[in-house]
Chain A
Amino acid sequence: MKKTIIAAVALALTAAACAPGSDSPSGGASAPSTVQTDAAALGQVELTVWDQEVRGGQAAQMAAQIKGFEAKYPNIKIKRVSRSFDDLKTTLRLALSGNDAPDVVQANNGRSDMGEFVKAGQLVPLDKWAEAYKWGDRYPASVLQYSRYSADGKTFGEGNLYGLPQVGEVVGLYYNKTKVPVPPTDWTDFENAMTKARAGGDVPLQLGNLDKWPAIHVFGTIQDQFVPADQITKLAFGRPGASWKTPENLKAAETLVSWVNTGYFNTGFNGQGYDPAWQDFGKGKGTFLIAGTWLQADLQKALGDKVGFMLPPGAPAVTGGTGLPFAITNKAKNPDAAAAYINYITSPEAMKVLTSTGNLPIADTAAQQAPAGLAGDIFKSFGTAVGESKLVPYLDYATPTMYDTLGAALQDLLAKKATPQQFLDKLEADYTKFAGK
C-alpha cells in the first residue's frame, strides 16, 4: 500500500514537473505598426472592459461615458465588468493569463501590478495611439510618467506608455476653517499654526497610523519640503541614481520626529485607525489633516463649508498620482477599438462628465467649471500641482516591498524605536537591493 502511495505521489510530481508559468508568453508585447483611429470603420466589435468604478460618482460617470461611446460608435458594444478595487487587484493576474482575457482593464500603476503585467507581455504599449490621438497634448508629462514602463517592466516612470488614467489625486492639507481662518502661507507659518493649536488644547494634526500606510503621506509631505523633487521621483520610482542617506532626507525624518516630540499628533496615533482619525477631524477634533483628495466627499459631508483644502504651503513639490489607468491587453481582439474607447473616456468631453459627477478630472482641470467650496479648493490645488509645481509619486511605488518596509519603518520611527539614521538605513537597504547602486 505504501508503495502505491509513493508511486502516486511520484507520478503526480512528474505530471506537474513542468515549471509553473510555462504556458504564458515571455518578453514584452510588441507595439502595433499602424493604428486605425476611425472607430466607426472597424466593423462590429464587442469590447470586454474590466474596471473598478463602482462607487457613487465613479459609477455614474462610467455609465454615462459608455452610453455616450456606444451612441457615437453603434458598431462597438461594451461589455462592462466592474469590481471593487481589491477584487480587481486579486483577480486580474489570473484573468490576464487566461485565454478569455478582457480587452481593456484598469490596472494599478505599481510595480507589483502594471509592472508585472508589462514584464509578462500582457499589456500593449499605447505610444502609437498616443501619437495618433495626441494624448501628449492633453496630458501633462508629470501625469503620464505614472503609466510608463520600459518594455521589460524594470524601469518605472520612463519608457513606453501602458495606460491612461481618468482622474487625479493629490495629498495636501485639510484645515478646519473655524480654527484657521487664514490658511498658512509658508512652512514656518504652518508649524506655528500647529503650535498655536496645541497651546489652545486642540490636536494640531490628526493621524491614524494603525493601518501602517497613512504616515507615508505625512512623511512624504515633509520630504517634499526638504528634498529636491527629482531625487524624490527617482527614489519613489525605484530608479537607480539616488539615495535615502542624504542630509535632506535626514532633515525630513528628524522633522517628523520633532513633530512627535512637540506633540503635534493625537496621542496613541500608532494604535488609531485611519478612518476613525479622519472621522474625528470631521467631527471638528483637530486643526489639520494630511490626506489625499479621496476624502473630499466624506469631509465635505461632515464639515460642510468649515473645511478647506490646500497644497502643503511653500513646497516645491507635492505628492500625488492618478486613478487607475486603463490599459489594453495583449489578448485584445481589436486593439484599435480598445484604444478608441480609452480615447473617448479621457477626452475633453469626458473630463466635463467627470466634473459634473463629482470626480477630479486629471486633464484640463483648470478649464473645468470649478465647483464651489471644498471641491473648488481641490480643483485649484490639483491644477497647480500638475502645472506650476511638481507632482512626485507615492514613495511606496519604489520597490515591490517598499510599501511594507516604509510602513513598518515609519511606525518604528514615530514610536522612537528607531532613530532617523536607522530609519534611512532601512529604506536605503530596500532601495539599493532593488535598484542597484
Chain B
Amino acid sequence: MSSPPGEPRRIGYLYILPALLVYGAFLLYPLIRAVHLSLFEWDGITLGKFVGLSNYLDVVRDAGLRAAFGHALVLIVFYAVLPVLIGLALATVLQRARVRGLGFFRTIVFLPQVVAMVVVAVAWRHIYAPDGPLNAVLGGSRGWLGDYTFALPAVGVIGTWFETGLVTVLLLAGMARIPAERYEAARLDGAGPVAEFFAVVLPAVRGEIAVAVTLTVIAALRTFDLVYVTTSGGPGTSTSVPSYEVYHRAFELGQVGSAAAIGVCLTALIFLITLGVNRIADRGTA
C-alpha cells in the first residue's frame, strides 16, 4: 500500500514473463540454435564438425545459391509491387464506384487468401499444363512451367493473384477511414479523380501500403510451397528459391549446417528489407 501502483518498476517483467517464456522457447531459442548449427558441418545424425563461417562463405560463393536469391528478388516484383499497384487501382474503383454489394466483391477478391497454398499451386499447375485452360485460350501447347523463359514469371503470376486480394482488402479498410470532408475539400479546390487520388487517397493509406508491402515481401522471400508443388525448382534450376534450398539441404541432402546458414541469411535479408520499408513509411507520417 505504501508504493504507488506499478512500483517497483521491475515487477513489469513479471507480467511479461509468461509471454516471454513462450516467445523464448519457440522463437528465440530456435533462432539462436539455427545460428549455432550454421557454424557446423552436420548431417543431422553423426557428430558435427565446427567449420566457423565457411557455410556463410559458401552462400556467397555458390553461383546456384546466388541465383536462388536473385529469383526471390524477382518474385518480390510479382508478390509485392504488382499486387500493390493492382490493389490500389481496384480499391479506389471499389471505393469510389459505391457499387452495390461491395461486400460481395470484397469477398471475391479476398478469396485466394482463404485457399491453402498447396491447393492453389495444384490448380495453377493444371491451368499452366500444355493441354490446360491457359493454352486453350491462347491456342498453343506451351508447357509454361517447363519453359526456361516463362517458368519464373508463371510462378510469380500465381503470387500476384494470391496476394492482390489481401492488399486490396487492406487498402479498402484504409480508404474507408478517410473523412468525406477531405474529398469535398479537394473537389472544391478543383481536383479531378486523378489529382484526388494522389492528394487525398495515397497519403492517407501510406500506413496500409507499408503493412501490405511488408507482408507481401516476406511472403515473396520465403516462398516455398508454391515452388515445391509447381516446379520443384525447375526447369533446370530456373525457379529455385532460398527456402526451397533450405528444405532440400536439411531434409534431402543432410547438410543441416549449410541449410541453417541459408535460413539465417534469409532471415537477415527479410529483416533488413522490412526495416527499410517501415523506415520509409514512418518518415512520411512523422
**In the complex, A26→B47 CA distance in Å?**
8
Complex interface bits, B217-253 against A, C-beta within 8 A gives 1, otherwise 0:
0000000000000011111110000000000100111
Give chain A residues whose Cβ lies under 8 Å from the Cβ of B45. 21, 24, 93, 96-97, 116-117, 119-120, 122
**In the complex, A112→B253 CA distance in Å?**
6
Give chain B residues whose Cβ lies under 8 Å from the Cβ of A268. 129-130, 141-143, 146
CB–CB B148/A271 < 8 A: no
Beta-carbon nearest neighbor of B130 in chain A: A268
Number of A-B contacts (CB under 8 A): 130
Known contacts A20-B256, A112-B252, A276-B129; A270/B46 CB under 8 A: no
Task: Name the interface residues of A3-49: CB closer than 8 Å to any CB of B.
Answer: 9, 12-13, 16-17, 19-22, 24, 26
Known contacts A271-B144, A417-B148; A20/B42 CB under 8 A: yes
In-complex Cβ contact of B143 among A97, A269, A417 (8 A) = A269
B23 contacts partner chain A, Cβ-Cβ < 8 Å: no
Binding site for A on B (CB under 8 A): 29, 32-33, 36-37, 40, 42-50, 125, 128-131, 141-148, 151, 231-237, 248, 251-254, 256
In-complex Cβ contact of A408 among B32, B42, B237 (8 A) = B237
Known contacts A270-B143, A271-B146; A411/B236 CB under 8 A: yes
CB–CB A210/B231 < 8 A: yes
A292 contacts partner chain B, Cβ-Cβ < 8 Å: no
Complex interface bits, A392-412 against B, C-beta within 8 A gives 1, otherwise 0:
000000001101100111011
CB–CB B44/A16 < 8 A: no
Tell me, rounded to whole Å, the shortest Cβ–Cβ distance linking B109 to chain A: 29
In-complex Cβ contact of B33 among A16, A271, A272 (8 A) = A16
CB–CB B33/A415 < 8 A: no
Q: A266-B130, A270-B146, A271-B128 are in contact. List 16 more A-B contacts (CB 8 A).
A: A13-B32, A21-B48, A26-B46, A26-B47, A97-B45, A116-B43, A119-B43, A210-B143, A210-B145, A211-B232, A212-B234, A269-B130, A271-B147, A272-B130, A276-B129, A415-B235
Tell me, rounded to whole Å, the shortest Cβ–Cβ distance linking B242 to chain A: 15
Task: Name the interface residues of A404-433: CB closer than 8 Å to any CB of B.
Answer: 404, 407-409, 411-412, 415, 417
**In the complex, A409→B234 CA distance in Å?**
10
CB–CB B42/A112 < 8 A: no
Beta-carbon nearest neighbor of B154 in chain A: A271
Known contacts A271-B128, A273-B125; A210/B44 CB under 8 A: no
Give chain A residues whose Cβ lies under 8 Å from the Cβ of B233. 212, 404, 408
**In the complex, A94→B29 CA distance in Å?**
19
CB–CB B42/A272 < 8 A: no
CB–CB B40/A415 < 8 A: no
**In the complex, A13→B45 CA distance in Å?**
21
- Chain A CB within 10 Å — which of B45, B148, B151 has the most? B45
**In the complex, A417→B256 CA distance in Å?**
32
**In the complex, A271→B146 CA distance in Å?**
4
Complex interface bits, A79-112 against B, C-beta within 8 A gives 1, otherwise 0:
0000000000010010011000000000000001
Complex interface bits, A114-127 against B, C-beta within 8 A gives 1, otherwise 0:
00110110100000
Give chain A residues whose Cβ lies under 8 Å from the Cβ of B151. 271
Beta-carbon nearest neighbor of A9 in chain B: B32
Give chain B residues whose Cβ lies under 8 Å from the Cβ of A116. 43-45, 254
A267 contacts partner chain B, Cβ-Cβ < 8 Å: yes
Give chain A residues whose Cβ lies under 8 Å from the Cβ of B49. 19
CB–CB B130/A112 < 8 A: no
CB–CB B29/A19 < 8 A: no
Tell me, rounded to whole Å, the shortest Cβ–Cβ distance linking B127 to chain A: 12
Give chain A residues whose Cβ lies under 8 Å from the Cβ of B36. 13, 16-17, 20
**In the complex, A17→B145 CA distance in Å?**
44
Give chain A residues whose Cβ lies under 8 Å from the Cβ of B235. 270-271, 408, 411-412, 415
A–B complex contacts, Cβ < 8 Å, 13 sampled = A21-B43, A22-B47, A90-B251, A93-B45, A116-B254, A210-B234, A268-B146, A270-B234, A272-B146, A408-B235, A408-B237, A411-B234, A415-B146
Tell me, rounded to whole Å, the shortest Cβ–Cβ distance linking A312 to chain B: 25
CB–CB B236/A412 < 8 A: yes
- Chain A CB within 10 Å — which of B36, B40, B130 has the most? B130
A209 contacts partner chain B, Cβ-Cβ < 8 Å: yes
CB–CB B47/A19 < 8 A: yes
Beta-carbon nearest neighbor of B248 in chain A: A404
CB–CB B37/A407 < 8 A: no
**In the complex, A17→B44 CA distance in Å?**
16
Tell me, rounded to whole Å, the shortest Cβ–Cβ distance linking B61 to chain A: 15
CB–CB A19/B145 < 8 A: no
Beta-carbon nearest neighbor of A25 in chain B: B46
Tell me, rounded to whole Å, the shortest Cβ–Cβ distance linking B2 to chain A: 27
Complex interface bits, A263-285 against B, C-beta within 8 A gives 1, otherwise 0:
00011111111001000100000
CB–CB B146/A210 < 8 A: yes
Complex interface bits, A232-269 against B, C-beta within 8 A gives 1, otherwise 0:
00000000000000000000000000000000001111
Beta-carbon nearest neighbor of B235 in chain A: A411
Give chain A residues whose Cβ lies under 8 Å from the Cβ of B40. 19-20
CB–CB A411/B256 < 8 A: no
Tell me, rounded to whole Å, the shortest Cβ–Cβ distance linking B160 to chain A: 19
Beta-carbon nearest neighbor of B28 in chain A: A12
Task: Name the interface residues of A43-93: CB closer than 8 Å to any CB of B.
Answer: 90, 93
CB–CB B50/A271 < 8 A: no
| A-B complex: 9 closest residue pairs judged by Cβ atoms | A271-B143, A271-B146, A270-B146, A268-B143, A268-B130, A120-B45, A411-B235, A20-B48, A19-B48
Known contacts A21-B46, A210-B143; A271/B129 CB under 8 A: yes
**In the complex, A408→B144 CA distance in Å?**
16
Tell me, rounded to whole Å, the shortest Cβ–Cβ distance linking A102 to chain B: 16
Give chain B residues whose Cβ lies under 8 Å from the Cβ of A269. 130, 143, 146
**In the complex, A403→B43 CA distance in Å?**
18
**In the complex, A399→B203 CA distance in Å?**
57
Give chain B residues whose Cβ lies under 8 Å from the Cβ of A122. 45
CB–CB B44/A93 < 8 A: yes
Give chain A residues whose Cβ lies under 8 Å from the Cβ of B142. 268, 271
